[in-house]
Chains A and B, each alone.
Chain A
């Protein structure tokens, strides 16, 4: 707490430009937002290998059609082999054309349990899979420690595993609904006094009051506009836009998760359930980019991950079951985009992992390690504190 307050004072005091406080951009500064799609999203229908005949054979009812400018339901061309889900046409596709998003196919973990919960934990902890797990040491929390800056936050109603830490009390706040603090300063002070001697909870209690106040002040404009009847976004898009505003001025390391991706039944193709989810995700991510503003966007990276990919063949219920390799997104103003990064393999029946799903050729620890190393200028010892024993992948993404 003391270090945090000091940093805040140092950061905000001298840098007031045109009435707005800017966070001090330190050397190697940058921002990272991790978007976690819980439920193992069907990446093969978002960034779809439409150049493969096997794709169309394996997905007779849910598969996307090859790019065709005359067909609004057809996939959007990325390169000769890959195409993007049409629900992302107005949100993510412009970022692709602006070279601000790259996709990393065949990405994932070495966790073969195909269990949502096990593999989500694997990703969030970011520890070598063979070792015993320490559930109070998530990789985002270790990253916050390694960067040495003190502005991490989880935009979720719980502190996610990736931000669990035995050393830091990382704030969390859900960005839905009314964010006005309901506890007045006098009561807050009294409550904090009760927790003064409670080593397990005092940090969390103080952080909770401070975060609510900070977020409320940062978003007060938006709320004023909303109360005047301005049209506001809903659901994930609303949260993502708010995250954009908060990361512009207040926080540099953030997490948000989006559920609802476990599509065993009737997931749909160009239209349908999954298309609805992916459209909302795209609007959210694009809304975040818009809201954070051009200046901050330049040194911001957004990484979109999910715990694993799904079966490559559709199942008997026009859905997909638990698989392995996925496609991750990396986007930001400084991202070297408009490309599919990382090792790839021809997709065919004989190249599937266990005849069922896509192999993992890019390990997520190596991928994120490579990104944060460049983004935050981490030396190898500090990177090793985040992802021990991992060699960062040189995908040249940022």
Chain B
């Protein structure tokens, strides 16, 4: 039934491996898709897919969220007012109650953002965009726990990152720079003439664009920090009162603000260029210089290659991707096409160790193919336990890519425990948070048509032998999800 659709043969092992790499894990829908169109068309469609609607069951859950119904700026302003009101209360008991209420508001917003992301990873048809959304979020990491970023992180991920995940790198960099989540996280909302804060300037160069050791100096970092003075966040509805000559230079977009009164208008020497003091245009010039730098092309290409091909990607592959990055002026789809069509990529299929997010999401996709989960909290919890919680990485470098970062003894053991949770029952995934509908007692049936058609042939004799010893379907599930084959993609 899977194979017949459009005259293509049943997907072979290579097709299944490709599916497993380009998506968040093999499932029924993906198999039908690649069977119907063939691998080449499937790949091309994934590279060029617009943002596609989710299945209605998942979309309904998102539509009910506060982050889907209210604009981010409004959420942040309301939360800020709630926080200020709580702080103004004198009575200690009432103050504590008000502060707890504020924290609940913020935690709810942060949890909604995680939930929306996981529903998209699990069920979005444009799976490659979703993987690149994870990748770019990690590249431009912010941590939700800092200050009021929990109220911003959903919008940051959806608007700044997802919208540009398969677009142009320059737009992505610009969108992150314009987002209050980034400006808060790396303290640029505190960066002003005479009160320089270097944090964001340093990480733009070191992490977001050129990469550490790319030849820029401490002086370049300081000059970029000066260029970025006045770029910040403003929750007030009205523009500040400014001297007349500054008024035309003031910029505002939502909570983003460029305030010329806080900007250092001196000339700057940045990466060997003189940037004349002129206001926000300086930032655009600096970003142009950074994106045009060969170091940026190389740094970004090597990170993408590491994500898709695994540890220490071949240098020749990275060089070809970097060349594509440069001549396409940072067209992400073009860079990915160079990668996906390479022999190095094909050779790596099935051999890359899954990071925790990939492990858990692919397990739920496989276990509950065709049924939409009603609660993502257990999945979020598993990611936390494995040390790769969504929006939870404290430092701006993002989570590591190397398999050795995720395959330590303690981490493997944790995976087996999670495999047991997923394989042994529904683990709360079908228990709505509001408690409206009682949980359907269910455990997954991983040993199904999909398994026999696509996965069984990839098992080693040792794994096959162990699976034969399973005493129950639950144990079989747990063992399969614990197998070496399921750890890789």
- Which A residues lie at the B interface, using CB under 8 A? 38-39, 113-118, 135-136, 154, 157-159, 164, 169-174, 182-183, 187-188, 190-191, 193-198, 200-201, 204-212, 259-260, 262, 264-265, 315-317, 319, 321-322, 354
Known A114-B221, A262-B199; further 5 A-B contacts with Cβ < 8 A = A136-B404, A157-B411, A159-B405, A208-B416, A212-B413
Known A158-B405, A198-B484; judge A208-B190 contact (CB<8 A): no
Q: How far is the CB of B180 from chain A (nearest CB, A)?
A: 15
Q: Mark B198-215, 1 if CB is under 8 A from A, else 0.
A: 110010001100001100
Q: A158-B405, A315-B195 are in contact. Are A191 and B482 (CB under 8 A)?
A: yes
Please give, as numbers and ranges, the residues of chain A lying within 8 Å of B365 by CB-CB distance. none
The reply to whether B460 and A117 form a contact with Cβ atoms under 8 Å apart is: no
Contact yes or no, A183 B395, CB < 8 A: no
Q: Is the CB of A194 within 8 A of B395?
A: no
CB pair A174–B460 under 8 Å, yes or no, is: no
A-facing mask of B449-489, CB < 8 A → 1, else 0? 00000000000101101100100000100110011100100
Chain A residues lying within 8 Å of B190, measured Cβ to Cβ, are 264-265, 316-317
B residues 167-208 with Cβ under 8 Å of A? 187, 190, 192, 194-199, 202, 206-207
Contact between A158 and B487, CB atoms less than 8 A apart: no
Contacts of B487 in A (CB 8 A): 201
* Contact among B192, B196, B407 for A201, CB-based, below 8 A: B407
Given contacts A191-B416, A191-B479, A259-B394, contact A322 B202 (CB under 8 A): yes
A204-B466 in contact (CB<8A): no
Query: Could you jot down 15 A-B contacts, CB within 8 Å?
Result: A135-B402, A158-B406, A158-B408, A159-B408, A172-B411, A182-B417, A182-B420, A183-B413, A187-B479, A194-B484, A201-B412, A208-B413, A212-B413, A265-B197, A317-B195
- B313 within 8 Å of A (CB atoms): no
- Is there a chain A Cβ closer than 8 Å to B397's Cβ? yes
| Nearest chain B residue, comparing its CB with the CB of A155 | B410
Contact partners of B386 in chain A: CB under 8 A:
157
Contact B199 A187 (CB under 8 A): no
Q: Do A118 and B197 have beta carbons less than 8 Å apart? A: no
Tell me the smallest distance from the CB of A278 to a CB of chain B, in Å: 17
Is there contact, CB below 8 Å, between B479 and A316?
A: no
Residues of A within 8 A of B466 (CB): 190-191, 193-194
How far is B394's CA from A127's CA once the two chains are assembled, in angstroms?
26
Q: Mark interface residues in B391-428 (1 if CB within 8 Å of A CB, else 0).
A: 00011010010101111111111001100100000000
Q: Is the CB of A164 within 8 A of B404?
A: yes
Is B412's CB under 8 angstroms from A205's CB?
yes
A170 to chain B, nearest CB (A): 8
**Beyond A158-B387, A187-B478, A193-B466, is A315–B197 a contact (Cβ under 8 Å)?**
yes
A264 and B221 alpha carbons, distance in the complex (Å): 15
Contact at A317–B408, with CB atoms within 8 Å?
Answer: no
Question: Can you name the residue of chain A whose Cβ is closest to the Cβ of B387?
Answer: A157
> Would you call B440 an interface residue if the criterion is a C-beta within 8 Å of the partner chain's C-beta atoms?
no
A322 pairs with B198, CB closer than 8 A: yes
The range of chain B's interface size is 35 or more
Q: Secondary structure of the A side of the interface?
A: loop
Q: Say whether, besides A187-B420, A190-B466, A118 and B195 are in contact (CB < 8 Å).
A: no
Inter-subunit contact B192/A316 (CB<8 Å): yes
Partner of B412, one of A115, A117, A208, A264: A208
Closest to B459 in A: A194
Q: Interface of B with A (CB < 8 Å)?
A: 187, 190, 192, 194-199, 202, 206-207, 212-213, 218, 221, 386-387, 394-395, 397, 400, 402, 404-413, 416-417, 420, 460, 462-463, 465-466, 469, 475, 478-479, 482-484, 487
Closest to A190 in B: B466
Min CB–CB distance A218 → chain B (angstroms):
15
Quick check: B197 and A194 within 8 Å, CB to CB? no
Chain A residue nearest to B413 (CB atoms) is A208
**Minimal beta-carbon separation of A77 from chain B (angstroms):** 33
Contacts of A114 in B (CB 8 A): 202, 218, 221
Question: Chain A residues with Cβ under 8 A from B406's Cβ?
Answer: 158
Are A159's CB and B404's CB within 8 A? yes
- Cα-based distance from A260 to B146 in the complex (angstroms): 11
* CA A200 to CA B460, docked complex, whole Å: 15
| A286 CB to nearest chain B CB (Å) | 25
Contact between chains at A190 and B479 (CB < 8 Å): yes
Nearest Cβ distance between residue A24 and chain B, in whole angstroms? Answer: 23
Give the shortest distance, in Å, between B216 (CB) and chain A (any CB): 10
> In whole Å, how far is B92's beta carbon from the nearest beta carbon of chain A?
19
Whether the pair B395, A39 counts as a contact (CB closer than 8 A) is yes
Closest residue on chain A to residue B484 by CB atoms: A198
Measured CB to CB, the closest approach of chain A to B384, in angstroms, equals 10
In the complex, are the beta carbons of A204 and B408 less than 8 A apart? Answer: yes
Q: Which residues of A contact B206 (CB under 8 A)?
A: 113, 115, 117-118
The CA-CA distance from A207 to B484 in the complex, in Å, is: 16
Do residues B198 and A118 form an inter-chain contact, with CB atoms below 8 A? no
Q: A197 touching B413 by the CB < 8 A rule?
A: no
- The reply to whether A171 and B212 form a contact with Cβ atoms under 8 Å apart is no
Bound CA–CA A368/B469 (angstroms):
51
| Residues on the A chain within 8 Å of B212, using CB | 113, 115, 117-118
Closest 7 CB pairs of A and B: A316-B195, A208-B413, A159-B408, A208-B409, A207-B409, A157-B387, A172-B410
**CA A116 – CA B206 in complex, angstroms?**
10
Determine the residue in chain B with the shortest Cβ distance to A115. B212
Chain A residues, Cβ within 8 Å of B395: 38-39, 116-117, 259, 262
For A195, the chain B residues whose CB sits under 8 A away are 462, 484
State the Cβ distance, A225 to closest chain B Cβ, in Å: 24
Residues of B within 8 Å of A154, CB to CB, are: 408
